[in-house]
Copies of this chain bind each other. A is one copy, B any other.
Amino acid sequence: MPDIPELVAQARDGNARAVARLISLVEDTSPRLREVAAALAPHTGHAAVLGLTGPPGVGKSTSTAALIAAFREQGKRIGVLAIDPSSPFSGGALLGDRIRMQDHATDPDVFIRSMATRGRLGGLAAATPQALRVLDAAGFDVVLVETVGVGQSEVDIVALADTTLVLLAPGMGDGIQAAKAGILEVADVFVVNKADRDGAARTVRDLKHMISLGRREIRGPTWRPPIVSTVATTGQGVAEVVAAVAEHRTWLTEHGDLARRREHRARTEIEEIAVQTLRTRLAGPRDGALDRLAQRVVTGELDPFAAADKLIADLP
């Protein structure tokens, strides 16, 4: 059994193996999860948390690799959580892309962890904030959470990040159309990657138009997400992305929004843990209380709301 405070101390000394071990402990919801969380808490709150999302094929992993390089040039330590969606029908080319990130595999100030969702977003939603706390407590200056923008994952990212980058690429007009509803809400910085391709200027123009239409109602008039064009494979534009992130951070701090976002993040986290705890209690054996209620619902004797009330009333 590892000694938790010792592991945390090692992680803070830059020991990548200790960091990996702590993430495994929080990822598997081991019995020692609470002990780990308690040991991490006093050291948290220092990392800048970035979210990076976008539809498949826009170059998220390549952009992550380029961002790692840019932050390293500034002397910053960076931790990356790459969320692998394992949903049955989503795209499957992710693992190949990941390999490009291995350029940084030997740098002790870069830590990269792929997290599989194992077909359940609940698992991701529970494990990611804790893994993020490990990296934060371990002293990484920047923690980047990267996920593919399908389903609820991008909403989860926003709940976690101080600054969210939304990546797009030219020739994905349909994607932009489909994304109109949600994309304005989640982006603090837009990145149009593959800017050397045909249609990049058009993508930027479309985005500008969308921002001018939608932004005001959604988050107040002050912060307008900038649009940065990049070619992640060559590094072009990546310094501008880093600058836009810094600018957003300054803005958040000046407007008290950084504290507000972090309190919101903590609130969500506490609430999810509490709900999960209660869910476990509700579904627990208790002499088959839930099973008996389910049978009564199947026969039509009870409606499910009345059954839920009974279940809660009998909560131990």
Asked whether any CB of chain B lies closer than 8 Å to the CB of A262, the reply is: yes
B270 touches A293 (CB 8 A): yes
Asked whether any CB of chain B lies closer than 8 Å to the CB of A274, the reply is: yes
Asked whether any CB of chain B lies closer than 8 Å to the CB of A257, the reply is: no
CB within 8 Å of B: which residues of A? 33-34, 37-38, 40-45, 54-55, 86-92, 119-121, 129, 149-152, 154-155, 174-175, 177-179, 181-183, 186, 259, 262-264, 266-267, 269-271, 273-275, 277-279, 282-283, 290-291, 293-295, 297-309, 311-312
Tell me which of B37, B41, B299, B303 contacts A37 (CB under 8 A): B303
Shortest Cβ distance from A296 into B: residue: B266
- Contact residues of A: prevailing secondary structure: helix
Tell me which of B270, B298, B309 contacts A45 (CB under 8 A): B298
Interface centre among A33, A271, A301 (most CB of B within 10 A): A271
B-chain residues with CB within 8 Å of residue A41 when the two chains form the complex: 297, 300-303
Asked whether A295 and B263 contact (CB < 8 A) given A150-B150, A271-B283, the answer is yes
Asked whether A304 and B182 contact (CB < 8 A) given A88-B154, A177-B92, A271-B290, the answer is no
